[in-house]
Amino acid sequence: MSWLTWPLRCIGFFLWFAKEMVTSSAAVLKDNLTPGQNSTPGITAFDSQCRNDYEITLLAALITLTPGTLTLGLNSDSAVSPADGARPAPAETGTLTIYVHGMYAGNADAMREELRDMETRMLRGIRREGAPS
Amino acid sequence: MDLLSIVGNITIVTGALVFATAALGVLRFPDAYMRVSAVGTAGGVGIVLIVAGALALQPSIPNVVKVALVVIVHLASSAVGTMAIARATYITRTPLEHFEFDELADATPGSSTPVNSHRSGDRCERHDYD
């Protein structure tokens, strides 16, 4: 069953992302065209649910492509660090953390909520078995 | 003027407008991070819109293949390039302007948020560049 809905979910995510591009473009454009700056920039640490390098790369790239948000870096061993200091394989780290510069979220928690929404939609689109519960 | 060429022209003009927005952003945004963000978006999405519009003006099977390649390769390289520049911006301690929060500094041992020392305000202490 999940094989049948996979392409549909993929297209669904693509359409949602296109819509998101338009709305966040409008927000940036509005700030640019009106006098003054009403941006509230900040850098958020976001613990993703991505399991491997492909998913986290795609997520980081999509965040960067969205107007107003920008991925600054990735921390792959923030959650679980082995005692001997060796860099663990991504599958063993538990959590891949990315750092995102956002312009209009207001505070770190609101930002994390937006990113979580986007990530869940992305994983629902690209994973055959759907989003993590 | 058939429907396809109208759609193509609208798409191309939209792409050009995205670029104009980015140029405006470079002029108006206060710090390097927001400027990188503005340019990164335009570099990714603006080009894709213009190329897609060109496809609508001259539709053919070989052009579809070329446009698909351009879109995939360009979006991937543009996003990765933007992230590389953004990362370099932070590592070289380029100041953040009137930021509200910075959790990257919390995660980096022995580091504080890079700010302009002459107007760092009350949010964090002055950083000495050693």
Residue-wise pLDDT for B20-55, tens only, equals 888 888 888 888 888 888 888 878 888 888 999 999
| B83·A72 Cβ contact <8 A | yes
Confidence check: pLDDT of B127 > 80: no
**Enclosing H/E stretch for A48:** strand A42-48
Distance, in Å, from the CA atom of A63 to the CA atom of A68, rounded to the nearest integer, reads 9
Give yes or no for B18 touching A (CB within 8 A).
yes
Q: According to the model, what pLDDT value does residue A89 have?
A: 53
The ranges assigned to domains in chain A are 6-126
Distance, in Å, from the CA atom of B77 to the CA atom of B81, rounded to the nearest integer, reads 6
Q: According to the model, what pLDDT value does residue A77 have?
A: 65
Interface pTM, i.e. ipTM? 0.77
- The per-residue b/e assignment along B89-113, b for 16 or more CB within 10 angstroms, e otherwise, is bbeeeebbbebbbbbbbeebeeebb
Q: According to the model, what pLDDT value does residue B128 have?
A: 44
Distance, in Å, from the CA atom of B107 to the CA atom of B99, rounded to the nearest integer, reads 17
From chain A, the residues in CB contact with B40 under 8 A are 64-65, 70
Closest-CA distance of chain B to residue A133, Å: 26
**Enclosing H/E stretch for B69:** helix B61-91
From chain B, the residues in CB contact with A21 under 8 A are 45
Residue ranges of chain A with per-residue pLDDT less than 50: 78-84, 90
From chain B, the residues in CB contact with A65 under 8 A are 40-41, 44-45, 75, 78-79
| A61·B104 Cβ contact <8 A | no
Is the entire prediction scored with pTM above 0.95?
no
Q: According to the model, what pLDDT value does residue B126 have?
A: 41
